[in-house]
Amino acid sequence: MTKPENKADEATEVIHQQRRQCLCKLTKFVGAAGIAAAMWPLVSALGPDEQTLADGEPLDIPLDNVAPGETLRRVWRGKLVFIRHRTAQEIALANALDGVTRIDPQADAERVKPGHEQWLVVYGYCPHAGCIPNEQNGDNPGWLCPCHGSEFDLSGRVTRGPAAQNMQVPDYAFHPDGNTLRIGVKDV
């Protein structure tokens, strides 16, 4: 290795040294960037695949054959959805209970679409621990969760604990003719 002979050579040597170090760092950085880019497809492969995405698209549900008082059970994106066709009495009862529910206050009108108050669409799970509530008719119509005894009214609002939230309402919208429900979109 040639030794620097005077100050000028020393200075050049220092510059060369810095150049080498800089280039070395640059090469390592570019290499690391390449490895990170190569890891990306492996990570993204873990996400939902095309089939799952396609199966999870908004679902159209025809409402023709659902009589008043009946509840339709459908599964969308792996989750159970209750679609209840409420009678006029049930709608009136739900509205009357607006001020009574204290645990998670919410007006019935906020939980249904204007013009389609007869259709109550909620996820079929108790917000407490995820059990599926059973339908109740009689004194306290609505739903009763068999796991820990939470009760829900005809609007899916919690009237008795231990649940602390109302039954969740998914995004949904009605087709213009009013006979088909699309779950998963905010409007058609």
- Can you give the binding site for another protein, defined by CB under 8 A? 1-2, 16, 19-20, 23-24, 26-27, 30-31, 34, 37, 39, 41-42, 44-47, 49-52, 54-55, 57
C-alpha span between 2 and 96 (Å, rounded):
97
Does the annotation mark 148 as catalytic? yes
SS (H, E, C) the chain: CCCCCCHHHHHHHHHHHHHHHHHHHHHHHHHHHHHHHHHHHHHHCCCCCHHHHHHCCCEEEECCCCCCCCEEEEEECCEEEEEEECCHHHHHHHHHCCCCCCCCCCCHHHHCCCCCCCEEEEECCCCCCCCCCEEECCCCCEEECCCCCCEECCCCCEEECCCCCCCCCCCEEECCCCCEEEECCCCC
| β-strands 142-144, 151-152 pairing | antiparallel
| Closer to another protein by Cβ: residue 48 or 149 | 48
Q: Which residues are catalytic?
A: 148
